[in-house]
Amino acid sequence: MFAMQSMRYGVGLRATAAITTAAFMDAGSITKEDKRLVVDHNKVKRAQEKIMKSLDHEFDNLYKKSEVKCMFFDGREDTTKIMLKADNSDQQYQSIIKEQHYSVCCEPGGRYLYHFTPDKNLKGKKPAKVIADHLVDYMKKKGIDQTLQAIGGDSTNANTGCEGGTMHWVEVKLGCKLIWLVC
């Protein structure tokens, strides 16, 4: 339970371990003679990984049952903190860049599926095709390509261009026509 709450509130591994150990000490579970319940940050990390694997498996089963019929995607440009390496040095420094982030959800149910950051600097590839590649790769990996009937997004040219928009490229890559839901 501590691992789940530390992920939910963004508390670090060492802080979670210290808080958990303190709670056990307050409850009297950890004494000078019995220190078996002292929590190490590695134990918190393993617990978080176990939770994430369990939730991922649960999520896969959930939409295998529901057969995703429609996917919606939307992107926005965000400022993102990154670490850059200095030339000819092992030193790193923090920088802020503008980066595209895409979120994908499904119908029925309007559930969040996943998010991605499209690759940059792909020579000769249009941004719409790169986004379509990400969407189709995910669909095929999860088996959504078999049940998909519609795709939706906003009306930007990158999404809806008839000979080069993301929705067009998704249709080409899947080899079938989809209903376009444009807002």
pLDDT digit string, tens, across residues 14-39: 999 999 999 999 999 888 888 888 99
Average pLDDT, the chain: 86
Residue 133 has a pLDDT of 92
Eight-class DSSP state of 124: T
- Average pLDDT over every residue of 76-81: 87
- Lowest mean pLDDT of 72-76, 98-102, 103-107, 159-163, name the range: 159-163
Residue 22 has a pLDDT of 92
Does 111 score more than 70 pLDDT? yes
Does 121 score more than 70 pLDDT? no
127-132 own/partner pairs: CB under 8 Å, 24+ apart: 127/158, 128/158, 128/159, 128/161, 128/164, 128/165, 128/166, 128/168, 128/169, 129/164, 129/166, 129/169, 131/73, 131/75, 131/102, 131/158, 131/166, 131/169, 132/166, 132/169, 132/170, 132/172, 132/173
- Average pLDDT over every residue of 124-133: 87
Q: What type of residue sits at position 13?
A: L
pLDDT digit string, tens, across residues 134-167: 999 988 888 888 888 999 999 888 888 777 889 9
Residue 63 has a pLDDT of 63
Residue 42 has a pLDDT of 93
pTM: 0.66
Is residue 159 within 8 A of residue 129, CB to CB? The reply is no
Which helix (H) or strand (E) segment holds residue 153: the answer is strand 150-153
pLDDT digit string, tens, across residues 37-71: 899 999 999 999 998 888 778 777 766 666 778 99
Residue 64 has a pLDDT of 67
